[in-house]
Structure 1
């Protein structure tokens, strides 16, 4: 194991294939498999960004409107000069964005929320170095119109699940923050930026506030697209989807092609891919014999009434998972979208929609994947002399492997099994010489004897595991730290698990994670 300096947070990088954590669909994409090449615009290499820049035609009117609306959104927080400068730069024709998006998890939710934003920030910094004649703005797109509150209502701190209880309905970004103060009562030493954030008027404002506090100095721009002026730009797509159903047709064609190539898709294209969004309502719009209705409400529209509603109130039409990506690309001069493995493979269903609406399909860039190894865990890893690749093995397999390495006894019965094989082969031959029908009986008895030896072998190993209880407990403690409850740490633990003892945690991530190095990163903490 290599010696680390006090300031070095990076322990190792592991190839995706060795982590046993990713679907073959995602691995095929990022490895550039030929069968998927027609579904995207090329792999997210620095070299391919140049072609994206050359192909990305973006209307000046969209730049001006979005920049103006962003300045309005940021008027309610203490924005950094770097962020305000980037918002102004969005008006310039040589400025482009790299974007990630996520739900409005309370208190940031799981660790990978931080890794997503770190990736876009660092990618923009490296692209600026590579192409200094252009400007690159990192963007976090808030999923403020999402209505699945259960997914964002909690976070996990020090092994405890902290939940915000509320009965509000509709788009979560509009939720008032009543009741969230009860979480503060359960956390000693809550950072001040969270205290200030949750004094805002709604959840979207709170998320803008705390993300700005964490990343504003690096120029990150947070966008809330639940906005009338921004939706005005999207009216052509709203009308096409509601009345022509073109997105469904195009996405279904791509979906069929992917499935014929052997890939299981995630997104189901609907005839209508918009929700109706008003007050505490976010419900699907469906076509009926007499016009249109909003499910789970008493709202009905004729075709003419719905066209008028779009014209007067485009902000009341909220895209679903199929069209939200296109909405994003309508608003931002975007070059790449940064997401997790499930996100990126569903984007592969969408290229036909982008082509139809004359919008450049972004490069699909995996976010950084990482696990943080605290000092206690690192010490245990060194004591047992585990490799970093060992950490990704199945628990039981790893324990047995290390117990066998450390023992002074012979734990397997391979010699005995070989002897047994020879005895029964000889017995089988003798039996067959007398009566061919005895073959099944002899083989059955052979298998019973083998199972007996296997049972004895398991008992011996179990006994030795007990003898090596300290080793076994250390392995399980390491696995629980990095895979709490069997899930990857980044998908379960909140960043406060590390920030509370190391206020430089986010900065350490920014300095340690490599946005264009598509491997799993293992980091140490500077507690």
Structure 2
């Protein structure tokens, strides 16, 4: 299984914020704590261990045992659950929405990143245990973001009414989705496995959270993955003091706003906008923002409202009804987990960079932040096709029009670069400008206009010649386009839209082990995996 790597900056698909972070640029260092290296993560463990209480460990352990009571847990996961009760155990965490049938391919890459990082840390520091965590975003309510997946260029979608936290959504109606999916799968042994996996996950479980836990456990149980549902009364009770401070002081808004202004001053965009209160109120079928109106706490778009003493009483009795938004969820994770590092995509890391001063204010250690592995899967046939077309790996990542233009210029038997002619023309007009200045200044504008006209004419001639060569070399161009469309569906990174099932159908049970072997979480480069 050969692999190739490419610096993230050279792919053209990652923001300046992320590539500058990977380069550890000095200006970004105030926005994070420790850069993710094996040595730094071992230092992080010493700091986190000093702040994570035995009570928090016991509550985490008890909650997870309860969450797993109806799950057929692998021996590896069961061992990791037991490890979590020990003070020398720490976690590496990633999180993801409850996308239907895992959603885009990067769901796998996130989880493989935490699995492999735990393995690497254990080898370097065998006295501690490191547990890979997948945090299910069960409290999200953006159903339209998770109700589909893409398979072989088609959308497989679950249509139903939404409302409330997605983890509590009934799986009713997914039998029809499976029936549609099966018509596209075929009848191979791998197709039968995928059909059964979908059926066992969604038709044998009552809600989306349980179905997703089953799915994650089936795919990654042998690697000891532990799946956490934060929508848990016991875990929310640990977080209640921070919720109370958010309700009474709104400290997150002030600190996050301050840090966000510092980021935007450096030219980076705001990823998530902080609100006055960054909490939702959550009950059956409802997850709405909590808003402070005069001396009342109002649940948006409902008739629910509390005075200060009433909402504090509600928090004491029902902490599970208070749900952090995207800005507070990171704090929730770090309060209830003995966590060292959060592994996420570029967008996730961008909002974590808004949070450092807030974590400092509330006295919770800020974790290391690691960009998840990104990868492109190609077949041996596609690799050979690229080789025969003479397409280098960096060029394959170019935008399609630029890729075509470069290739046509490279293989044409005539020169399609008028740079020399442009330079010559500019030199001629320099002399004419000098002549105009020395004789008649009113002539300067006419000379400049003629220069622009002549240069534009050269540009048009170059474009026409390039288009003519594209037509002449249309067969080669089409093969190039077909190859890029295969590995960059919808002219985007494969991992951002294609579902894992498309590759499982072809590669079967070797798919995940091959990816586990290929991806290096601390490697710091984009990986191309040839299967």
Q: When the two structures are superposed, what TM-score results if normalisation uses the length of structure 2?
A: 0.94
2: distance between equivalents of 1:37 and 1:436?
54
407-416 or 391-400, larger mean C-alpha shift: 407-416
The one of 134, 139, 143 equivalent to 1:140 is 134
Structure 2 unmatched runs, 5+: 186-190
Q: Does 1:54 align with 2:57?
A: no
CA distance in 2, matches of 1:432, 1:137: 76
Question: Where do 1:239-254 residues align within 5 Å?
Answer: 239-254=244-259
Q: Does 1:196 align with 2:200?
A: yes
- For the 8 Å contact 2:178–2:195, the answer to whether it is kept is no
Aligned equivalent of 1:327, options 320, 327, 332: 332
Q: CA deviation at 1:435?
A: 3.0
Give the aligned partner of residue 178 of structure 2: 184
Query: Which residue is 1:113 aligned to?
Result: 107
Q: Is the 8 A contact 2:34 2:367 kept in 1?
A: no
Classify 1:39/1:446 alpha carbon distance in 2 versus 1 (closer, same or farther; 3 Å): closer
CA contact (8 A) 1:370 1:490 kept: yes
Deviation at 1:353, TM superposition (A): 2.3
Greater CA deviation, 346-355 or 119-128?
A: 346-355
**Structure-2 residue corresponding to 1:3:** none
CA distance in 1, matches of 2:9, 2:144: 32
Aligned partner of 1:93 in structure 2 is 87
- For 1:44, the equivalent position in structure 2 comes to 36
Q: Deviations over 1:72-100 (max 9, x none)?
A: 22122211011011011100000000000
- 1:345 Cα deviation after fit: 2.2
CA spacing shift, 1:449–1:258, aligned 2, 3 Å: closer
1:163 corresponds in structure 2 to: 157
Contact 1:9/1:508 (<8 A) preserved: no
**Higher helix share goes to which structure?**
2
Distance in 2 of aligned mates of 1:25 and 1:413: 36
Aligned length: 517
Equivalent position of 1:23 in the other structure: 15
Counterpart CA distance in 2 for 1:470 and 1:71 is: 60
More displaced, 79-88 or 390-399?
Answer: 390-399
**SS of equivalent residue, structure 1 residue 97:** strand
Other-structure match for 1:453: 458
- The CA distance in 2 between the partners of 1:420 and 1:256, in whole Å, is 47
Do the aligned partners of residues 446 and 407 (structure 1) sit closer, same or farther apart at CA in structure 2, a change above 3 Å counting? same
Alignment of 1:174-323 (within 5 A): 174-187=168-181, 188=185, 189=191, 190-199=194-203, 200-323=205-328
Partners of 2:72 and 2:507 in 1: how far apart? 24
Conserved in 1, the CA contact under 8 Å of 2:291 and 2:300?
yes
Alpha carbons of 1:223 and 1:460: their partners in 2 closer, same or farther (altered >3 Å)? same
Evaluate the alpha carbon distance shift between residue 423 and residue 319 of structure 1 in structure 2; reply closer, same or farther with a 3 A threshold.
closer
Q: What's the offset of the Cα at 1:358?
A: 2.4
1:403 aligns with 2:395: no
Give the alignment partner of residue 68 of structure 2, picking from 57, 68, 74.
Answer: 74
CA distance in 2, matches of 1:87, 1:250: 35
For 1:300 and 1:219, locate their aligned partners in 2 and report how far apart those are by CA, in whole Å.
44
Contact 2:32 2:356 in 1 (8 A): yes
On the 8 A contact 2:178/2:198 being kept in 1, the answer is: no
Residues 392-412 of structure 1 show CA distances to partners (whole Å, capped at 9, x for unaligned) of: 222222211111211222333
Determine helix, strand or coil for the equivalent of 2:506: coil
- Matches of 1:9 and 1:67, distance apart in 2: 40
Distance 1:155 1:122 in 2: 26
User: What is the distance in 2 between the residues matched to 1:27 and 1:415?
Assistant: 35
Aligned in 2, Cα 1:312/1:484: closer, same or farther, shift over 3 Å?
same
Q: Helix, strand or coil for the counterpart of 2:10?
A: helix
TM-fit CA distance, 1:439: 2.1
Task: Tell me which of 29, 33, 36 is aligned to 2:25.
Answer: 33
Q: Which moved more, 1:260-269 or 1:464-473?
A: 260-269
Moved more, 190-199 or 251-260: 251-260
- Which residue of structure 1 lines up, in the alignment, with residue 188 of structure 2? none
How far residue 181 of structure 1 moved from its aligned partner, in angstroms, is: 1.9
Aligned partner of 1:469 among 461, 466, 474: 474
Indicate the larger mover: 332-341 or 395-404: 395-404
Residue 501 in structure 1 maps to residue 506 in structure 2: yes
Residue deviations 1:164-191, cap 9 Å, x none? Answer: 1010201000000112222212223334
Which SS does the other structure have where 2:73 is aligned? coil
Select the residue among 372, 391, 394 that pairs with 2:396: 391
Deviations 1:102-132 (A, max 9, x none): 1000011001111000000000001000000
Matched, 1:129 2:119: no
Name the CA shift for 1:425/1:208 in 2 (closer, same or farther; >3 Å): same
- Bigger mean CA offset, 376-385 vs 364-373: 376-385
The Cα shift of 1:61 comes to 1.3
Give the 3-state SS of the residue equivalent to 2:507 in structure 1.
coil
Deviation at 1:417, TM superposition (A): 4.3
C-alpha distance in 2 between matches for 1:412 and 1:164: 51
Measure, in 1, the Cα distance between the counterparts of 2:347 and 2:281. Answer: 26
What displacement does 1:323 show?
0.9
Tell me, what secondary structure is at the counterpart of 1:116?
helix
Equivalent in the alignment of 2:353: 348
Name which of structure 1's ranges 257-266 and 217-226 shifts more when overlaid on structure 2: 257-266
Please state whether the residue corresponding to 1:500 is helix, strand or coil: helix
> Mean alpha-carbon deviation: is it higher for 265-274 or for 505-514?
265-274
Q: What is the CA–CA distance in structure 2 between the aligned matches of 1:175 and 1:64, rounded to whole Å?
A: 29
What CA deviation, in whole Å up to 9, does each residue of 1:26-80 have, x standing for no partner?
2222222222222211110001012101111211111112112212221222110
Deviation at 1:259, TM superposition (A): 3.0
Q: CA deviation at 1:257?
A: 2.9
Unaligned segments of structure 1, at least 5 residues: 1-7
Q: In the superposition, relative to structure 1, how do residues 419 and 389 fare at CA in structure 2: closer, same or farther (>3 Å)?
A: closer
